[in-house]
Chains A and B, each alone.
Chain A
Amino acid sequence: MQLHELTSTQLMAGIRHQDLCSRDLVTYFLNRIEQLNPSLNAFLSVTGDSAIEQAERIDARRSRGESIGMLQGLPIAVKDNICVRGELTTCGSQMLRNFRPPYDAHVVERIRSEDGIIVGKLNMDEFAMGSTSETSFAGPARNPWNLNCTAGGSSGGSAVAVAAGMVPLALGSDTGGSIRQPAGFCGVVGMKPTYGRVSRYGLVAYASSLDQIGPFARDVNGVALLLNVIGGRDVRDSTSLDMEFPELGGYSGEHADLKGVRVGVVEEHFGAGLDPEVAAAVQGTVRRFESLGAEIVPLHLPHSRYSIAAYYLIACCEASSNLARYDGVHYGHRADSFENLVDLYCQSRGEAFGAEVKRRIMLGTFALSAGYYDAYYLKALKVRRRIREDFDKAFAAVDVIVSPVAPTAAFRLGEMLSDPLAMYLSDIYTISANLAGIPGIAVPSGQTASGLPIASQLLAAPFEEKKLLRLAAAIEMPATFPAV
């Protein structure tokens, strides 16, 4: 087996038994990135020199017998909306093409303090707005299972980097499915934690009441490891949770006994629009739960059909406010010619934002404008509570809900570009978890006849990450590799 086929757990065991050192590992993955990135476009920037220096320092400490942090010198890449001090952080946007943050995000500080090594920044939809990574100013990341298909989005680069073995672990962010959907499209594990589990300090804001950072890995254990590192209270994000973060253990699906576990299956999730191959794979996950002793409980989430409408109003309203900071004055793009200050704003923003970002800013601006606020924004917030109440009722009856991640496997590139509403509708299975704030995970569950990955999504009640990971490990299939 080659190094890139190993899971993070296996790589760390290699380091601990001194078969591997961090420098060799980082060099190996940097070579792999260099070799594959021209065809996959997963990385927007690579921080090779500083990564090798860091690896050498960790190896030196290890050889002196000093204790090494939880990540043991593993290479890790982060989505390009997560600030890394002094390194380009573009958010996939022309607006921030030269932006170098003067500080590290909380999650980057945590990775460094546990001896993880940041090797680069990952491609994404512009400002995390999109479901295909095609709105990136650098062009789309490509799906390693089929280069003509999208990687999903918005964290497409994160999913591709892990799926193609360019890094063992990566971070993304999930506002409406932006971790789980690309993980599903690329055949890796991706998790959105409970809202507030992970500090958003240093995450470039899209929709602040929905955004959450989370891990990608080749297996459930890798996701648990990285969540252990990044989770917990941070005073710089007042929405980060002031409650104890459970130690997430090693998870194994072998000999799992799920007697007493109740698994919910939502009738509305298997209706029209769901691809039959995806439906069959998710039903396969349900049967695996059953064969391990779990009880299958049919459920209803009557308001789930309203989640997309509520989401696009709330997310766009928040985005229109958050993205007001790009004014051509403090950082980001400034137009060359303008008539006055207001024109400087309008020209700079008009030139540097892409079509999808402008569309969402305008939708949000409209929905918050005088005379429309109650009819759109306020109503969406009330429907959001109805959606949450559905989940509260559901999780009183079950431990976990199993569903598809997306109605189909990966789209073909270009398929969604001309019809934004069609793209929004494909987020139907992931979006309600963000509205409700609950944790969710995408786990590989098979392949289509044409060889594209299919995933199942598991959802749990707020703060139930430990349960979610244990159940995900019980049904996870061994990671397979695309022929790249």
Chain B
Amino acid sequence: MDALDVQKVASLARLAISEGEQADYRRQLTAILDYVALLDEVNIEGVEPMPHAIDVRNVFRPDECRESLPRTDALSNAPASDGSFFLVPRILEEKK
């Protein structure tokens, strides 16, 4: 495997990590990836992947209106809110 691009992975995962952390993670993740190469030994020819432990498909429920979480409850843990909405930094530039 190529040298692991830890910075790229961290940015895909939306994680700010320090340079010290980068070095630790490169070493630890490389060791783990070396270990999981063990799976190459297994004959998986024609084997269906198993995404779930118990085979359950197409679980339906009646399409009925139910009460949802009140807005005040939904906002109660927000780091920033104006009482009606979650507040985030501006993502569009103002028109000049």
Contacts and interface: CB of A to CB of B under 8 A. Distances in A.
Contacts of B32: 312, 363, 420-421, 424
Contacts of A305: 38
Given A309-B39, A350-B16, A353-B15, A100 B50 contact: no
Nearest to B62: A235
A223 interface: no
A228 interface: no
Contacts of A293: none
Given A329-B86, A344-B88, A349-B14, A239 B44 contact: no
Chain A contact patch, size range: 35 or more
Contacts of B86: 329-330
A85 to B, nearest CB: 9
B73 A421 contact: no
Interface string B12-34: 11111100010011001101110
Contacts, number: 166
Contact of B54 (A241, A306, A334): A241
B88 A437 contact: no
A437 B56 CA distance: 12
B77 A331 contact: yes
Interface in A435-476: 435-437, 462
A424 B41 CA distance: 20
A359 B25 contact: yes
Interface residues of B, number: 49
A333 B79 contact: yes
A81 B47 CA distance: 35
B88 A312 contact: no
Given A98-B77, A328-B79, A306 B25 contact: no
A215 to B, nearest CB: 19
Contacts of A386: 42, 44, 47
A29 B61 CA distance: 42
Given A362-B6, A378-B49, A437 B54 contact: yes
A362 B35 contact: no
Contact of A238 (B33, B35, B59): B59
A338 interface: yes
Interface string B77-91: 111100000101101
A114 B90 CA distance: 49
B56 A349 contact: no
A343 B88 CA distance: 11
Interface string A57-91: 00000000000000000000000000000000000
Contact of B74 (A102, A210, A363, A420): A102
Nearest to B47: A382
Interface string A311-338: 0110000001000100111111110001
Nearest to B37: A309
A333 B78 CA distance: 9
Contacts of A381: 49-51
Given A99-B77, A334-B79, A385-B49, A361 B54 contact: no
B53 to A, nearest CB: 3
A208 to B, nearest CB: 9
Contact of A195 (B4, B16, B54): B54
Contacts of A424: 32
A480 interface: no
Given A342-B14, A346-B16, A366-B4, A209 B53 contact: yes
A273 to B, nearest CB: 15
Contact of B78 (A330, A347, A384, A385): A330
A177 interface: no
A471 to B, nearest CB: 22
Contact of B91 (A340, A350, A366, A382): A340
A306 B38 contact: yes
A194 B52 CA distance: 12
Nearest 8 CB-CB pairings of A with B: A437-B53, A350-B16, A381-B49, A331-B77, A334-B79, A195-B53, A102-B73, A382-B44
11 contacts: A209-B51, A306-B41, A340-B91, A343-B16, A366-B4, A369-B12, A381-B49, A381-B50, A382-B47, A437-B53, A462-B54
Given A334-B79, A341-B89, 8 more contacts: A103-B69, A195-B53, A241-B56, A330-B77, A343-B16, A358-B25, A379-B44, A380-B36
